[in-house]
Structure 1
Amino acid sequence: MINAIHLFAGPGGIDRGALAEDVHGQGIEWDTNTVATRRAAGLPTIHADVRKHTPQDFPSATVLTAGPPCQTFTVAGDGSGRQEITLLVEAVKRMGARETVDPRAFADERTSLVLEPLRWVLADLDASCGYTAVALEQVQQVQQVWNAYADVLRGEGYSVATGVLRTEQYGVPQTRRRAVLVARLDGEAALPEPTHRPYRKGVPQHEGDPGLKPWVSMADALPDRGPFTVISNYGTGGDPKARGRRTSAEPAFTVTGKISRLRLIDPDGRELPRLSPAEAGQLQGFPADWPWAGGDIPQQIGNACPPPLAAALIRAATQ
């Protein structure tokens, strides 16, 4: 059995993906609401700040995964992290040289959390033989940081692959782009091969590469809903005139913490009940019976790593 440590573990997306690949792990998560969901799901959890722990606290872990907080990097956030990418890249280089990086150097302390996985990897290398596999995911704006990680990790003997993946190509009923990193000490690292076709507006679900499965629609994920249209202002800067629309025959827009605000209408334009937590979770790739608990469940769902993507990343890192 392979053992893992999941940093910023979230409500269980990474864990569920890992377990699908027979990788069992311990999660560290600081958010009280998210911890409630993890415990309701029976996931091994330490309620703590990852900065308060070190690899030596988890000596049996040979795999490290992480999905650091994204609030300062997303379009919906304040953008401070995006403005400090150059500073983060320089910080990664300094950490590779075993220099200390002060989190107070960043406008928002949360921005510095994207450096924590590297701290763990380097600390484990310095104390023992290092994690055999590493899998990281974040919003696509962080890709430059993962590329800087790759330079450092290659210097430490890792094979590394980075890139931006489209979640619908891994069976998630949602279009979502994620910057990822896969690193291995025991083999050649590569990004996971897509299992599903990419979504392109206007291209029917059954068309495309016959060697890949069709992308998954909202109707596929929520068959009891009947036909509907989602009205969203995601990515429009809140401009009501620029609201996007997708029918249930398409994948969902990127699921965020605002998913509970989305309007749904039937084919005749009549308002429908909004998505329940279970339905929102299904659009993020969770099963319908996932035991969401605590408060701010839409935010928990929006912050989660989609389990099918997690499974693909961990499979690429460990097999």
Structure 2
Amino acid sequence: MTSSDAASRILENPYILDLFAGPGGLDVAAHMLDVPSLGIEWDKDACETRYMAGLATWHADVSAVRQRRFEDLPKELNVLAGGPPCQTYSVAGNGAGRKALEEVKRLVHELVVGRVDEEGIDAELKELESKGGDPRTALVLEPLRYAIKALHSDNRSGRPFDVIVLEQVPQVKELWEVYRSALKEGLPRPDGSRVPYEVAAVKTLHTEAYGVPQTRRRTILIARLQEHGVPPLPVATHHAYNLRNPVQGGPDDPAATLPAEKGTDPTPRPWVAMGEVLARATAGRPGGLRAPFEIRSNYGSGGDPSKRGIRTDRQPSFTVTGKVSRNAVRYPQSSTQPDPDRLTITEAGILQTFPPNYPWEGGDRSQQVGNAVPPLFGMHVLAAALSLPLPPEEGLREDWRIATEEDRATLRKEGCGAPDGCGPDCPEPKDQSSPSGSSGSSRPRTRASAKRSEK
């Protein structure tokens, strides 16, 4: 059974609230499933990308919306999704979130038993920050706080979210398990009664096993109100990548394409090589990467060139991170030995399974791409959570509809309070990212890649 073998849809009109929405990975997935969504994103650059892509967006701080504007959210929102910033939990970050894990787990318990009100939780989080904690660590509590807030909302008449979908780096699996226990126990209503959820097992999934041409691991939690039954986890459609045997399960492995025995589940398809999708997306367009090529990763090397891994165009990409522009592209069989190339933002987006013409706007575009949920992976997760059929993934290879100037003005007015700028509810400029138009790259691009990035 695959993600598309959904028995029946559980919601007549699903409507997603996407916290920490980034440049739109989960919203693109929702669009492919024909499900409306509203994203909350504090970064101005990511919001500019979202407006250009025609995605409904509130340019705001997630915590501030919960505290002061929750009643203004559309009452029809019935699916809560969230991928809180992962830097403090990630092995690539400074680890502040991992050090504070026990404290955050305690606060989850306090929220569920209803022993401490919102102001009390905020005071404890501020104290945690004053002791040297990273302020982003507290953001991992926001999905739970939104779910509880819904039960106290006059606008919603206390109606809970029907479905909750969370995703993060594998380092938060232990915390998602605490979430799972809390949701199964039930969230507190004002009268002291509880609203329990059915929760699928917390699972760390490999995105290449869902057709993403990139090895990336994400830990997910899917919960439904008890009346909707236990949600399934998305079932892999492709083989996982084996680091020790980089041919196994791929397009060059004859065993990966053998037909399944009659009466068994379909055999997973071979994992997808990055050269395949990049060649397909740039076919007929000048300046694209030419095979064979290899990418030398700068990620996790600690500056030691001898520790930098290499992937060829016949393999999935390394995890696309905010430092993707540092990864060197080389042509080992070239007789002219050209200067090292770099992936363009468009190519990095394609490896994340965004449409080839997705409109990356504003500054720090590498970080936008790296922070995003791969839309194809998001499609599998949302389809499983909502019991929806999985649409053909070919839709993500088609050109995206870019919003008109009039549409962008409307979206910006709804999201920022003004059709041509930021309003009073937007985060302060000093808290936002680099100015629009900056390169977002951490080092200069080579002449070759700079010319290709203009295409």
Superposition TM-score, scaled by structure 2 size: 0.68
Task: Tell me how far 1:235 sits from its aligned partner.
Answer: 2.3
Q: Equivalent residue of 1:23, what SS?
A: coil
In structure 1, the gaps of 5 or more residues are none
- The equivalent of 1:158 in structure 2 is 197
Q: Which string of whole-angstrom CA distances, capped at 9 and with x for unpartnered residues, describes residues 147-172 of structure 1?
A: 11100101121111211110111111
Q: Give the CA deviation at 1:175.
A: 0.4
The answer to whether 1:250 aligns with 2:315 is yes
Residue of 276, 281, 298 corresponding to 2:366: 298
Q: Quote the residue 2:88 is aligned against.
A: 72
Distance 2:303 2:373 in 1: 25
Contact residue 207 and residue 215 of structure 2 kept, 8 A: yes
User: Are 1:214 and 2:226 matched, yes or no?
Assistant: no
In structure 2, the residue matched to 1:117 is: 143
Range that drifts further, 230-239 or 61-70: 230-239
How many residue pairs get matched? 319
| Alignment correspondent of 1:311 | 379
Tell me the amino acid that sits aligned with residue 165 of structure 2: A
Distance 2:165 2:256 in 1: 29
Q: Equivalent residue for 1:46?
A: 58
Q: Is the 8 A contact 1:5 1:58 kept in 2?
A: no
* Mapped partners of 1:238, 1:94: distance in 2: 42
TM-superposed deviation, 1:312: 1.1
Is the Cα–Cα contact under 8 Å of residues 16 and 36 in structure 2 kept in the other structure? Answer: yes
Aligned counterparts of 1:139 and 1:64: Cα–Cα separation in 2: 18
Q: Distance in 2 between matches of 1:165 and 1:155?
A: 25
SS in 1 for 2:175: helix
2:179 matches 1:149: yes
The 2-side partners of 1:87 and 1:281 are apart by 36
Q: What is the one-letter code of the residue matched to 2:353?
A: G
Match of 1:231 among 285, 289, 296: 296
In 1, Cα distance between the equivalents of 2:137 and 2:306?
32
Alignment map for 1:23-102 (pairs within 5 Å) = 23-54=35-66, 55-56=70-71, 57-98=73-114, 99=116, 100-101=120-121, 102=124
Letter in 1 for 2:57: T
Q: Is contact 1:227–1:266 with CA below 8 Å preserved after alignment?
A: yes
> Does 2:323 correspond to 1:266?
no
Which stretch has the larger CA shift, 224-233 or 143-152?
224-233
Match for residue 189 of structure 1? Answer: 231
Partner of 1:22: 34
Report the counterpart of residue 425 of structure 2 in structure 1: none
CA distance, structure 2, for counterparts of residue 125 and residue 245 of structure 1: 50
Alpha-carbon distance in structure 1 between the residues aligned to 2:307 and 2:181:
40
Q: Which moved further from structure 2: 257-266 or 226-235?
A: 226-235
Paired residue type of 2:374: P
| 1:130 match | 160
- Separation in structure 1 between the aligned mates of residue 301 and residue 98 of structure 2, nearest angstrom: 18
Alpha-carbon offset, residue 272 of structure 1:
4.4
For residues 105-161 of structure 1, the C-alpha deviation after alignment (integer angstroms, 9 at most, x for no partner) is: 140110100110000111113442311111111111011111111001011211112
Measure how far apart 1:239 and its partner are.
Answer: 2.1
Deviation at 1:173, TM superposition (A): 0.8
Structure ranking higher in strand proportion: 1
Give the alignment's TM-score, normalised by structure 1: 0.96
Q: Does the aligned pair in 2 maintain the 1:5–1:65 contact within 8 Å? A: yes
- 1:2 and 2:8 equivalent? no
Aligned to 2:169: 139
Tell whether the 8 Å contact from 2:41 to 2:58 is kept in structure 1 after alignment: yes
Largest Rg, 1 or 2:
2
- Please tell me the residue identity of whatever aligns with 2:232: A
The C-alpha deviation readout for 1:185-213, integer Å capped at 9, x for no partner, is 11212211111110113334133375111
CA contact (8 A) 1:92 1:145 kept: no
Match of 1:169 in 2: 209
